[in-house]
Amino acid sequence: MKGKIFGRNILSIGIALAFLLSGLAYAYEEHNGGNVSGTWSGTHYISASVAVADDETLALEAGTVVKFAPYTTMNVYGTLDASGGTSTNNIVFTSRDDDSCGDIIPGFDGSPSPGDWYGILLQGWDANDGVGNFNWCRIRYGGSNSQYWGNVYFYGSDSGSLTNCTIEESQSYGVNIYGASGPTLRGNLIQNNTSYGVCIQGGTPNLGNNDLNDKGMNTIRDNDSGGSQYQVCNGSYSAINAYYNFWNSTDPAWIDARIRDNEEGAEEVFFIPFLTQDESLGMGNEPDLTLASDDIGFSKNPATFVCSDRHTGADYRYHPKSRTDSRDW
């Protein structure tokens, strides 16, 4: 009798444990098509493309991870509000195969690659809003070259912004802009996209003004497939402001050759003055930041920041090479 009760207890503990483990392993919420809105947190899995309807908003809390199955997108006719990310708690849009963040999705292969998903499509034509605001987001492994939308596509968007975001590993463009009002790009790290970093097909994006109080602060590098593509391609009928960004070079001719603009038969992209070191991801916006006088322009001497820690008041130094720890997951 005693043994029987004991056995039954073991069984119930086992069942409870199984429930708990399955809860831990599959805590994500799956969206198999249809419209989405409201506020998300935690991990969300897009197993079939979803839409945010016109005049509706989907807001993502800091730390939200959205993973996409192959051949899927998020079609935003209303507003995608991903502005709530923080430097320590990014919002992530990534491949189902990316197991470096969020919950594990069944079917993942642990090796994400460019083009695993289509990208985020912000559709603002006509009465649609197509608004996307992104702050401290990581958007990666999208931009499948079967669609060429890029990781993020502002397609006739009424407005938009990308601030302090990492946009990388697209199979096509990092950011794609077509007939959109804006967007404004500040402090982003746009790297390792196949072609191009920023594709401008029309509209009025702003990548930085010639104004020390409104610098671009973007780092745009390694999006040219070794020189055969462009970091920024201007296919618009307008000149584009892209002042005070870092292009991974201090040679203006080298930089210009990797920007499709006036020499290549297009409208100009204004990129001088430019930064001589990586100041993306909020590094240039620290309070009490002191910029060395030779930091801006053509100096071949990399400048070093001296920043005052906002919590302790202690001084410490940033160097671009020592910054990888702040981006780790």
Contacts with Ca ion, residue ranges (CB under 5 A): 54-55, 124, 127, 129, 158, 256, 259, 261-263
Residue 261 CB, nearest approach to Ca ion (Å): 4
CB of 272 to Ca ion, least distance (A): 9
Cβ closer to Ca ion: 98 or 261? 261
My answer on whether omega of the bond before 273 falls inside 30° of 0, hence cis, is yes
- Residue-by-residue DSSP string for 6-65: HHHHHHHHHHHHHHHHHHHHT-SEEEESSB--EEE-SEEEEEE-EEE-TT-EEEE-TT-E
End-to-end CA distance of the chain: 52
Between 102 and 124, CB nearer to Ca ion: 124
105 DSSP 8-state letter: P
Comparison of 254 and 316: residue with beta carbon closer to Ca ion: 254
Sequence-separated (6 or more) residues with CB below 8 Å from residue 242: 207, 208, 216, 232, 259, 269, 270, 271
Shortest reach from residue 162's CB to Ca ion, in Å: 19
Q: Provide the minimum distance between the beta carbon of 161 and Ca ion in the complex, in angstroms, as a whole number.
A: 16
Cα 187 to Cα 9, 166, 221, 239, 262: the distances in Å are 57, 9, 13, 21, 25
129 or 295: whose CB is closer to Ca ion? 129
| CB of 5 or CB of 127, closer to Ca ion | 127
Nearer to Ca ion, 103 or 261 (CB): 261
Backbone region of residue 118 per phi and psi (left: phi > 0; alpha: psi in -120 to 50; beta: other values): alpha
Q: What residues have CB less than 8 Å from 112, skipping those under 6 apart?
A: 94, 95, 97, 98, 140, 141, 169
Q: Rank residues 271 and 305 by Cβ distance to Ca ion and give the closer one.
A: 271
Smallest gap from Cβ 235 to Ca ion, in A, equals: 13
User: Cis omega (within 30 of 0) on the bond before 26?
Assistant: no
Please state the closest distance from residue 9 (CB atom) to Ca ion, in A. 59
Taking the complex as a whole, the smallest distance from the CB of residue 181 to Ca ion amounts, in Å, to 8
Question: What six digits make up the tokens of 21?
Answer: 């483990």
